[in-house]
Structure 1
Amino acid sequence: MATARLLLLLLLRLLRVRGSVEEDAEVVCAGTACYTLHRAELGWSAAQERCRNNGGNLAPVRGPAEAEQLQELLAAAGWPGPAWIGLSLSRGRCVQPQEPLRGFAWAAGGEPGNYSAWLSEPAVTCLSSRCVSLRPAGLPGTAGWADSPCRAPLPAFLCKFSFRGMCGPLPLAGPGRVRYATPFGVHSPRLAAAPFGTLAEAECEGGQGPAFALCKGPLEGGGFAWHPPGPLCPAACAHRNGGCQHRCLEEPGEPPRCACHPGFILAPDMASCLPEDACHPNPCQGTCRARPGGFECSCEAGYTLAPDGRGCLDVDECLAGPCQHECRNTPGSFLCLCRPGYRPTGTSGHRCRDEDECARPGVCPQLCLNVPGSFHCTCRPGYQRQPGSGDACLDVDECLRDPCPGLCRNLPGSFECLPCPPGFLPEDDGHGCRAVPTTGQEPAGAVNSSLQTTGIPQTMGALRTTAILQTTAVPQTTAIPQTMGIPVGATPLAPTAVGSAPGPEHSADGPRLLLYYILGSLVAILLLLAFALALLACRKRAAKREKRPAKSAADNYCWVPEQPESRGAGGERR
């Protein structure tokens, strides 16, 4: 007991030393926090320094509950002007119009949250610091935020101080006044709840000296209470029931004391009464647990205890980023969502994996290519995407590129080159046909050329034709088809290497190939004739030049006919 008194005296002396810097201010306490209104013309930084020196920060406004408490504080103080709150934008940071706080941050730190109460949009800047004040709006009872330069002084500022718990108002048995000295340096004559460490000074009427009580805790089983418990300013039970809530008892030689009705127990303040089962009816929004002298509220997972100590507030788990893709907050929990093309994986469902759409049947008409979050349809070789028909594949006609030496047959997704005609073999490079060589006879190519140039048709129908090897001693007959019509009783000729019987696919293409060969031969003959005529014309022109007569010297003289000489007498010539 002596130790407790000594500690109390030391605390009182400490508080008296601090009293020189204490001030009277309007205070509102609830749950685990107190809010104060200070009337002092300061800039934002100086106001924040004042709050920090007393163990707090400029007040944040993180939700409707805090906004309501600050409005209650302004109304109780009758303050009509603006007051700094703990929201600022430092120099070098830009205003973000798409965010609720517009890029501003709370002086107390923590998550920005989604609550905002701007009266007007803040000035868009990246070069100057801006700070926010709480201002009354045009309508009574409402308030909002406005930004201004941080160095501009305002006539007031709001602070917030957080504590582990609160004590109720100090009860008085007799007439008197109570003055509370809070741990954050503020004096107040009235508090609905006093934070831990508050010293209450009671001045009793009737000439009695002041009485002191300290909010201590936590008590055994939790909770906070005044020590000594009181009631202070003792008086007879006839005066205000001795300060007791239920009954006041007086015994000879003892001071009055309080008692409770059946079913109730005396509270730690020794004046008020609480139900024996403090949790019936349940005063909490969540779970209530009875404690000696009171109760304790707790909330289910996904909720947190409200500042009043009884209600429960939903926790936004999505602020911690528990999901890989998207997070949706739900009452008391959250839901992870995956982007299109992905599906949840794992037991918790917080992660997402790519969905293989190609595993589903009928996704694509031919080939399917899976990509992260989606897929693509492709076509097999020999097909191409058909324009305007979605994922349909259209067969490519390879024969249009003329890949074969002869005829080409288009197939679904590919093509086929028809074999060379009878008597020919394909070239090694796959383009063109060459004649089958024979031994001791004229090459089959020459024979085939003679067959083409002579105009002898080779019938490819029921009468199979054979390449008849012609020698130089046997003349060829023109315009007479050579067939394989074998007389009855005659022994059929053994087929040669050149004259193998064509298959069904050759029977229809033989006449066409023969016509191509005949036309090619005619074109070659015409070219040879034209060349021969041109050569003959050149030679005639040269011959004419060579046959021109050469001129002689006699061509320049005239010949005179010879005349007889005249003779004189005696027969002499003159």
Structure 2
Amino acid sequence: MAVAWLLLALMVLGSSGEHAEVVCAGNACYTLHRAELGWHGAQERCRHNGGNLAPVRSPDEAERLQELLAAAGWPGPAWIGLSLARGHCVLPQEPLRGFSWVAGGEPGTYSAWLAEPAVTCLSSRCVSLRPDEPSGTVGWADRPCRAPLAAFLCKFSFRGMCGPLPLTGPGPVSYTTPFGVRSPRLAVAPFGTLVEADCEGGAGPAFAVCKGPLEGGGFAWHPPGPLCPIACSHRNGGCQQRCVETPGEPARCACHPGYALAEDMASCLPEDSCHPNPCQSTCLSRPGGFECSCETGYRLASDGRRCLDVDECLDEPCQHECHNTAGSFVCLCRPGYRPTGPGGRHCHDEDECARPGICPQLCLNVPGSFHCTCLPGYQRQPSHGDACLDVDECLRDPCPGHCRNLPGSFECLCPAGFLPEEDGHGCRAAPTDGDKPTGATNSTPRTTRIPRTTTGILQTTVIPRTTGAPWSTSILQTLGIPIGVTPPPAPTAVGSAPGAEHSSDGPRLLLYYILGSLVAILLLLAFALALVACRRRAAKQEKRPAKNAADNYCWVPEQAENRGAGGERR
């Protein structure tokens, strides 16, 4: 009774099933539906029937969907179950570029982007499957999720399948699947599929349901068939070679030696040397034997049966690094690069300087990396986390006078009588009286005090000057021997502007100060020597010779003796 109700329910379902192209393999069925829907509407349709928009997680799955599109003759794009939600960013370095499958699970490493998806974090993006015109293969392309497409692909998963339906008579057959799709042909049918055969000869329709579990997995038809039993006397029972009648049993088809019944249980094929499958992967029947073949990414072993993984990295398909995987490979980029191009095989330099705050001041991008630099007037300090610290330029004594350090620069404080250079990093002597501009009439006398020295005593001399005439304080006057030069009393602050040039008058003035000091020192030494010599001379003059007995007598000149008349001597 329960079977009758099940058959009745499936008959009602089958009468309203949707006609769509379907392909079943393994434990899943894939369908192509033609309806003008956005991505979310298509996903809702698939979910309503117990499935999801189809994923493409492997080359085999991509080949299955390509077969489905070809069987349906559909040339345009169709939605698949790959999407990027709003608020999630496109990640160019990942195979799925940050997108995820609607059915969940691990993202995997397989990808088939025909073009790089638009980089965004603000809008949702969804993916369609479409043929690539130059190569004829199918690939992925992203587009707005709300933009409608005329077709979408669904996937339905099951615990097992029923094999080919045995038929003993010709007639149209219709398969109605549990997901509401009707098809005239199915190589395998999922659990719960209803099959209806329109038997010839007025026998009426025959039904069977895929529901009987088998040991080791899978299911069987109930009733087991064959359907549309007829006598062998009528058109050989619909058999290609032999029709066998056994008392109490319906007629059945058989084949001559060397042949075996096909899936329709009426045709005959050469005996299948691939049953059971002697190959590790795919077995192809050949006259007198079989031939094994392997999936993409594998090669046939020397025994002609096993499949060995192909190391695609030996062909250097990647620009940087290649990682071999079972049946495939993955391209990796070195740090500082991101994958680009078909399959992510090429690597493009990543501009790290585009990230905000990566360097304290300046960032220089280089292939695969970057360097942080500092502005002029600063230097890097690795001990402070590569921070840029101010350089104290005043330690190099760049100014003729006083120097004041500033963040990233410095300023010179010019002495009185000097003017700042335009770059603020030097001083120059003010114009002299001979450089007075024509037309200057202001002659109000002014005075300025110029320091001067004597022997150890600082003095000042007042020099009159006029307001309109430029003057210089580079002339030093002394009363006596100078022993030093005192700094000018009133320096002038000069604003600084960053620059690398300095005035040449500053060093020249400093040279004048040094030479003047040397001359003053030499004159002081000469004065000291002269003073010593003079004192020694004075000391000699004061020294008296030793006295003797003759010092108390006076010597008179010798005179002639008085002579008498005769001239005689007395």
Instruction: Give TM-score scaled by structure 1 length.
Output: 0.47
Larger gyration radius, structure 1 or structure 2: 1
Instruction: Give TM-score scaled by structure 2 length.
Output: 0.47
Structure number with the higher strand fraction is 2
